Chain A
Amino acid sequence: MNRHTLLIFGGWLGLSLLPAPGAAQSPVKSKDSSTANKLESAERGTKTYSGRILDEHGAPIIGAALQVVGTNLGCLTDGEGRFSISSPKAKLHIRLSCIGYQSLYSTISPGEQAPLILHSESKTLEGVVVTGFVKKDKKSFTGSQTTVQAKELLSVGTKNVLQSLEALVPGLQVLPQNELGSDPNARPELNIRGRASFSGAANLPLFVVDGALVTVEYIYDMDIHSIASITVLKDASASALYGAKAAAGVIVITTKPLERGSIRIGYSGTVRFSVPDLSDYHLLAPKQKLAYEDLAGVYRADQAGETQYRLDARRDAVERQVLAGIHTDWLSKPLRMGLSTAHSLSFEGGGREIRYGLALRYGDERGVMLQSDRRRVSGNFRLSYNSPSRLYLSNSTTLTHLAIERPNYGSFANFSRQNPYNSPYDEAGRLIKRFADDEPNPLYEASLTSYQRSRGLDLLNTSTLQLWLGDFRVDGDLSLSLRSSKGRSFRSPLSNDFAHVPVRSERGSMYEEQSESLSITGKLMLSYNRILLEKLYLSTLAGSSIEHNDQDASSYQSRGFYSEQLLHPSQALGFNSGARPRGSEGRSRAVGFFVNANAIWDNRYSLDWIYRYEGSSKFGHRQRFAPFWSIGAGWNLHKESWLRALRGLELLKLRASIGYLGNVSFEPYQALTTYDYNAGIDYTIGAGAIPRELGNPDLKWERTLSRNLGLDLTLGQGRLDLSLDLYRKTTDNLLLDVTKAPSIGTNRGTIKENVGQVENRGIELRTRLVPIQTKDWQWTLALNYSFNRNRILHISDALRTLNEQQLSSDSLNRSTRPLPLFEEGESLTALKVVPSLGIDPATGRELYVKRDGSYSFVYDPNDRRVFGDTAPSGYGTISSYLFWRRFSINAHFGYSLGAKIYNATLATRVEGANPRYNADERVFTQRWRQPGDLARFRRIDDKSSPYQTSRFVETEHYLTLRSLSLAYESDAAWLQKWHLRKARIELLANDLFYLSTVKRERGLDYPYARSLECNLRLSF
């Protein structure tokens, strides 16, 4: 839905969705009303009612509809906002409505009225749920959703929409990416209500911006100031209209509507300082490091080919450096204070019929690591035409240019492992290329002309149409999204990467990639609303949607650059021998038909039914179409007579819903047998093509049966607000490889089939308490809590075989990430390791517990047991909003409880530490050195990577201050000196602290950061 649609929908909702007792029967028909007007005024004894309708600013509203409740009598306001109507009655119940404004019910007496004020629509948005198809009254909505207003969103920060959303929406979890830290170029991964896939960490929800389907990158790069509200649809009843894509949830973003009036200018600006958060790093000092090396036997010649003499000489050299006082703080070398800025400027205006808006935005996000930037420049132009109650047209075009730079020296880990006694510079102050032990100097790499850059261009155009035909309404939208990106990464020929390449003409490399995608989506629907039997409000909707997707990507690598100043692919001397360009392309189409019927009886009971029939070209011809549906029911208990007596009870609603949602998780061609020309097959007289894989025409959607039970409660004029949801989602038909009889003739031995089954169940709680509310003070406390448990119900034998293969691999058993071993009845994120008794004080070796309970020094992967779940048993946020007059202080705390963590720092930087590199302090204090030591970690000279055992499993509870902000907002008169209507200034700090029960290094490849930002918002 387009942003303008918002207004229209609001108006329309006003007309139809909020009927007062004994409400209006149908929207105004201007033709009829004018004739009715004439007829009635012709009668004798009629009284004339007249007046003006104004907006909040006192401007006349033209074309507002006035309707006498319960009749067909009505009129429209003229160019000055005036109306005049005649009726024999002594009093008139009227209803005033206009697009973009809240409807107003009033009783008027004959004669000239005092001006009637209509309030603009945007203020009432909180009472409606935007599903992207229709807007529904929150009170009768049967689904589970969370709506977040712009204000709340901005109170968490302007850096990352999705992270802000996580703080406000229970059930939405942005997955911690310990490696990527605060990397501005890391795409966040998120789950809504748990994960239901065997591969990857997340199921990305569907993102919808004003009706257009967009990618998560688009959301990540979008201007947070342009957002009016975000609705997260979580259960079947809320999202079934999206059918086959809705299983992982839907995030509907509505941008700010265009307002009418003379030209208005808005400005928002942000300046953000980010400083790296290295509080989790506890590295060895030079002296300690050398002592550790001694203990670990680095300088003991115990390997063939090593001579003690040479090792002694090496040790002497190191000791000289230590004694010389060299203490390089390697951690700080690649870091900086990241200074990010963002500016958005908007112009908008227009009259009743035509409105326009132009927004420009520049944002430069600079990470705390050198050379990590994300720069976004975007422009948006919108135009709308509105002929009230007849036609509404709008178009919005957004063009975004994205420039990304990534560090040319690789990961932060290259620095955190450097030995503190090495200086990056030699005596003459030149950068050293490689240290004495042949370790490359990462700072040298950083000084080269190597780069890693990409550019992207993103065009999103959305057109919306609304048409009123009597009692029917037609809604249509068409959106086109075009993305293209180009990336280049250059490795300088002087880089250490090529130190061992003997041929000069093969040093240096350039990798170039390009991708393009086009997506067109369209939707057309017809809706009809009616009140029957006085109390039954019926709204129906039917429509169809289409989708077309095209993508194309290719990449190649060239090599050989004589100079590091030759930065263009055209300067390359050749290609890697045998290398081929790579690429992929795909095309898919989908079509869907949907029906939605919603009935509300007496504002007490509501029933909602959605059916969607959807087909996609990605599926096999036998399964091309599939049905999705949902049924939801709501009961407004507070409207019941027996509860009306309860004072202070504003809302008590029970909701329940059930339905099937889908998920498309595979490549366009998996269901079809397609051919491939194969380099290995040359039949001399012609090129041979063989099937790429046996396509499975029976492939179908992954389906999720989603059940939800919810309760909404509001007490004491909004003093307490609570939403509680219980859900159970059973996802079946999950795509998995299934082993087949070889005689079927598959190329890989397996075929993808819909066999997997996963269940997620959980609780979500959202509460809001207003302990203080006076004229000057307002204090709101909010608590979100989410709990999700995941269980595998069914897996395939191929997955079991894979489990076994992985189990038998020694290196995987020693890797820093515990193996994902899927077993029915267990969680997808179960942490399975071999139980350990700890370190034997006599030998310094680890003692394992076998399945039968006996002890052994021999590790057997089959002894693995479940040691809990890496998913927390509860997580959420605690927020506080304090307002005093025009000041506000907001704080958002995040917490997580009871997750079992495999502490990779212990496994790689303490125990599995390679003594050649720097390590965590605990290597020195907590490892076994001599018989009798009661140590937590193995003997200090054991350099092997440890097996995954329970010793590295820790329970994590954490508390973090996600954001703390102080803001001042004013629309006072003194601002007008500068032609300002409104101003807001805010200071906001992100991630000030992180308290955790697990001591581990965070941000391995890119450190975490704390940031402080200053936001300024001005409206002229």
Chain B
Amino acid sequence: MFESLPGYYDALYGIYGTMASGRLYGGQMTCGLVDKLGQVFGIVGNPSVPDASLLSYRYRDEEARKQIDALWWAMYQTIGYTNNALQSLEHPKFEAPELRTVQGELLGLRAFLHLDLLRLFAPSYATAQASAKPLAGIPYAYNYQNKNHQVYSTLECYERVLRDLDQAEQLLSEDEHIARDGDFEPNFVQAHRVVHFNKYAVFATKARVYRLMRRYDEAAKYARLVIQHSSDFHLAARGEFSTVTRFPAPGELIFGLYAPSFLQHVASIFLTAGSSGVVTEGRLPELLDELYSSSSSEGGAIDERYGSYYSKRGYSQFIRFVTTRPELLSSTAATRGLCLIRLPEQYYILAESLWDKDPKAALEALNAVRLSRGLAALPEGQFSSRAELEEELMREYYREYPGEGQIFPSLKHYAQPFLSITGERLIQPSTDIFVLPQPKLEVEKGDHFKQD
């Protein structure tokens, strides 16, 4: 397998392809389980459906348990695949300049996957920091072997994610030209950097990590590195939002995956008809109305995201990825994919990071996204405190990111009370909600966290 470059590419595609499957980012890690935990989607009308357990964070329920266990397992399988390829790179059987890129991508992916596990299965960075004794994180896997991986403290895990990302950054230093070329040329690796874990995906992920760690200088630095790379990235112009709502989201996509079966999966969940008044999959229309409504100060501007993401037919229907079934059939291979890192997030990170030092620049960053989405810019002095800004950012995540699995991690990061999917109750932040339990088998057979 690892005797030639194509072998490495195929191993990489194997990893990306696995990530794109329904049990990971083509479902559970995005619009599936994780967005249900974010109170974005879920069937609440029918108590017999397991979604109820997830929406009310009853992780011990059997069905929730099963889904969470499967997710944990699938994530570590994928990490195993990256580690197996990385292991072979310790003593490569041939030399090629491309191997640097491959190694960079693999390390970046390892960090990315571990970070997502941390965001689900470990306490938030702030909680861990505030704790008097070190809190257990997750096993950090460095190899694909028949032995347990050491469990590190949450804080240590974040450091390890950063370490992998640092290395990836170095290896991918030459990786400049990111945006996908118009032509769809299978097997041409150079032309498809956006569906590879490229250098800017490394920067963006670093910005993500530093933001979670509230190390805002570094977060701002990396978010800027992405934003300033304007040759590849730029927010959609006002009025052109419809061109970037979904994969390949030209200009806004930093890292995504080809996922040939993703749209089919999405359609089967979100395009099934629901009867009026019943929340099938998604928030109540009234809640969405409230979320996307513009305050009077904005001069009645309309948030383009609402109409592009949802259709209202008495109940809300999530049409962001695929609008109708005929559209599903006509979609081309080049558009069948999913977004994992998009540009707006970098602006949010920038806004959050700059607030303490430069509130004006922070507001500018937020406004950049608002303007692109058809909203009016928020005036200076809109926010009197960081808390207010963060509240608005959280709302922005809800507006911008349904279906991408980014909302639950932000809820956890901000740790403020939030509305349930039906808007009926306010959910108080707690570790019980934010830290998913590790599989029973992991507790039985896996490594145990040792405090030193």
Interface residues of A (CB under 8 A from B): 673-675, 677-678, 680-691, 694, 696, 698, 739-747, 749, 751, 753
B80 vs chain A, min Cβ distance (A): 3
**Which of B79, B185, B337, B444 touches A745 (beta carbons < 8 Å)?**
B79
Contact A687 B13 (CB under 8 A): yes
Chain A residues closer than 8 Å to B444, beta-carbon distance:
741
Contact B13 A685 (CB under 8 A): yes
Contact B186 A689 (CB under 8 A): no
Contact A690 B18 (CB under 8 A): yes
A-B contact pairs, 9 of them (CB 8 A): A681-B18, A683-B14, A683-B195, A684-B334, A684-B337, A685-B189, A685-B195, A690-B18, A744-B146
Chain A residue nearest to B446 in the complex (CB): A741
Contact A675 B1 (CB under 8 A): yes
Contact B141 A688 (CB under 8 A): no
Within the assembled complex, what's the spacing in Å between the Cα atoms of A903 and B56?
53
Contact A745 B186 (CB under 8 A): no
Contact B17 A741 (CB under 8 A): no
Contact A745 B146 (CB under 8 A): no
Known contacts A674-B1, A685-B258; is-contact A740 B146 (Cβ 8 Å) = yes
Contact B69 A681 (CB under 8 A): no
Encoded as 1 (CB less than 8 Å from any A CB) or 0, chain B from 1 to 20 comes to 10000010111111111101
Chain A residues closer than 8 Å to B260, beta-carbon distance:
682, 684
**Which of A673, A683, A749, A751 touches B17 (beta carbons < 8 Å)?**
A683
Contact B188 A680 (CB under 8 A): no
B148 in the interface (beta carbon within 8 A): yes
Within the assembled complex, what's the spacing in Å between the Cα atoms of A678 and B21?
12
Within the assembled complex, what's the spacing in Å between the Cα atoms of A743 and B449?
14
Chain B residue nearest to A745 in the complex (CB): B80
**Which of A681, A686, A694, A743 touches B139 (beta carbons < 8 Å)?**
A743
Contact A694 B80 (CB under 8 A): yes
Determine, out of B70-78, B128-136, B233-241, B388-396, the stretch whose residues face the partner at the interface.
Answer: B70-78
Contact A742 B441 (CB under 8 A): yes
Known contacts A673-B144, A684-B258, A689-B1; is-contact A744 B13 (Cβ 8 Å) = no
Chain B residue nearest to A681 in the complex (CB): B17
Chain A residues closer than 8 Å to B10, beta-carbon distance:
675, 677, 686-689
B278 in the interface (beta carbon within 8 A): no
**Which of B80, B258, B446 touches A683 (beta carbons < 8 Å)?**
B258
A691 vs chain B, min Cβ distance (A): 6
Chain B residues closer than 8 Å to A687, beta-carbon distance:
10, 13
Within the assembled complex, what's the spacing in Å between the Cα atoms of A683 and B21?
10
Contact A688 B18 (CB under 8 A): yes
Most-contacted residue by chain B among A691, A698, A739 (CB, 10 A): A691
Chain A residues closer than 8 Å to B427, beta-carbon distance:
none
Within the assembled complex, what's the spacing in Å between the Cα atoms of A740 and B146?
8
B290 vs chain A, min Cβ distance (A): 39
Contact B258 A743 (CB under 8 A): no
B327 vs chain A, min Cβ distance (A): 18
Chain A residues closer than 8 Å to B333, beta-carbon distance:
684
A808 vs chain B, min Cβ distance (A): 15
**Which of A684, A691, A743 touches B442 (beta carbons < 8 Å)?**
A743
Within the assembled complex, what's the spacing in Å between the Cα atoms of A685 and B334?
9
Known contacts A674-B1, A691-B84, A743-B442; is-contact A749 B18 (Cβ 8 Å) = no
Within the assembled complex, what's the spacing in Å between the Cα atoms of A689 and B10?
5
Within the assembled complex, what's the spacing in Å between the Cα atoms of A598 and B138?
59
User: What's the count of A-B pairs with C-beta under 8 Å?
Assistant: 138
B439 in the interface (beta carbon within 8 A): yes
Contacts A683-B14, A690-B15, A740-B445 aside, 9 further interface pairs with beta carbons under 8 A come to A684-B336, A686-B13, A688-B14, A690-B11, A691-B84, A694-B80, A742-B72, A742-B439, A745-B141
Chain B interface extent, by class: 35 or more
Most-contacted residue by chain A among B1, B17, B446 (CB, 10 A): B17
Chain B residues closer than 8 Å to A683, beta-carbon distance:
13-14, 16-17, 20, 195, 257-258
Chain B residues closer than 8 Å to A739, beta-carbon distance:
441, 445
Known contacts A685-B195, A690-B18, A749-B73; is-contact A741 B11 (Cβ 8 Å) = no
Contact B11 A675 (CB under 8 A): yes
Contact A684 B186 (CB under 8 A): yes
Chain A residues closer than 8 Å to B148, beta-carbon distance:
741, 743-744
B368 vs chain A, min Cβ distance (A): 32
Most-contacted residue by chain B among A683, A688, A741, A753 (CB, 10 A): A683
Chain B residues closer than 8 Å to A686, beta-carbon distance:
9-10, 13, 186-187
Contact A678 B14 (CB under 8 A): yes
Chain B residue nearest to A682 in the complex (CB): B260
Contact B79 A685 (CB under 8 A): no
Contact A689 B14 (CB under 8 A): yes
Chain A residue nearest to B70 in the complex (CB): A742
Within the assembled complex, what's the spacing in Å between the Cα atoms of A675 and B195?
22
A676 vs chain B, min Cβ distance (A): 9
Contact B149 A744 (CB under 8 A): yes
Within the assembled complex, what's the spacing in Å between the Cα atoms of A626 and B11?
33
Most-contacted residue by chain B among A673, A686, A747 (CB, 10 A): A686
B45 vs chain A, min Cβ distance (A): 32
B210 in the interface (beta carbon within 8 A): no
B343 vs chain A, min Cβ distance (A): 22
Within the assembled complex, what's the spacing in Å between the Cα atoms of A673 and B187?
25
Encoded as 1 (CB less than 8 Å from any A CB) or 0, chain B from 335 to 366 comes to 01100000000000000000000000000000
Chain A residues closer than 8 Å to B13, beta-carbon distance:
681, 683, 685-689
Within the assembled complex, what's the spacing in Å between the Cα atoms of A685 and B260?
11
B93 in the interface (beta carbon within 8 A): no
**Chain B stretch 421-452: residues in CB contact (< 8 A) with chain A:** 439, 441-442, 444-447
Most-contacted residue by chain A among B83, B139, B145, B447 (CB, 10 A): B145
Chain A residues closer than 8 Å to B15, beta-carbon distance:
688, 690
Chain B residues closer than 8 Å to A673, beta-carbon distance:
84, 144
Closest 7 CB pairs of A and B: A745-B80, A741-B446, A681-B17, A688-B17, A688-B14, A684-B258, A688-B13
Within the assembled complex, what's the spacing in Å between the Cα atoms of A691 and B185?
26
Contact B72 A743 (CB under 8 A): yes
B192 in the interface (beta carbon within 8 A): yes
Most-contacted residue by chain B among A686, A694, A743, A747 (CB, 10 A): A743
Most-contacted residue by chain A among B81, B189, B334 (CB, 10 A): B81
Contact B441 A685 (CB under 8 A): no
B147 in the interface (beta carbon within 8 A): yes
Most-contacted residue by chain B among A690, A740, A745 (CB, 10 A): A745
Within the assembled complex, what's the spacing in Å between the Cα atoms of A800 and B144?
26
B161 vs chain A, min Cβ distance (A): 16
Chain B residues closer than 8 Å to A682, beta-carbon distance:
17, 260
Chain B residues closer than 8 Å to A694, beta-carbon distance:
80, 144-146
Chain A residues closer than 8 Å to B20, beta-carbon distance:
683
Within the assembled complex, what's the spacing in Å between the Cα atoms of A678 and B80?
17
B174 vs chain A, min Cβ distance (A): 20
A737 vs chain B, min Cβ distance (A): 12
Known contacts A684-B260, A751-B146; is-contact A745 B17 (Cβ 8 Å) = no
Chain B residues closer than 8 Å to A749, beta-carbon distance:
73, 441
Most-contacted residue by chain B among A689, A742, A753 (CB, 10 A): A742
Chain A residues closer than 8 Å to B69, beta-carbon distance:
742
Within the assembled complex, what's the spacing in Å between the Cα atoms of A317 and B298?
87
A672 vs chain B, min Cβ distance (A): 10
Within the assembled complex, what's the spacing in Å between the Cα atoms of A680 and B138?
29
A257 vs chain B, min Cβ distance (A): 50
B81 vs chain A, min Cβ distance (A): 6
Chain B residues closer than 8 Å to A690, beta-carbon distance:
11, 14-15, 17-18, 81
Encoded as 1 (CB less than 8 Å from any A CB) or 0, chain B from 96 to 113 comes to 000000000000000000
B298 vs chain A, min Cβ distance (A): 40
B25 vs chain A, min Cβ distance (A): 13
Within the assembled complex, what's the spacing in Å between the Cα atoms of A1016 and B247?
83
B180 vs chain A, min Cβ distance (A): 10
Chain B residues closer than 8 Å to A691, beta-carbon distance:
80-81, 84, 144
Within the assembled complex, what's the spacing in Å between the Cα atoms of A686 and B333?
12
Chain A residue nearest to B11 in the complex (CB): A689
Chain A residues closer than 8 Å to B79, beta-carbon distance:
745
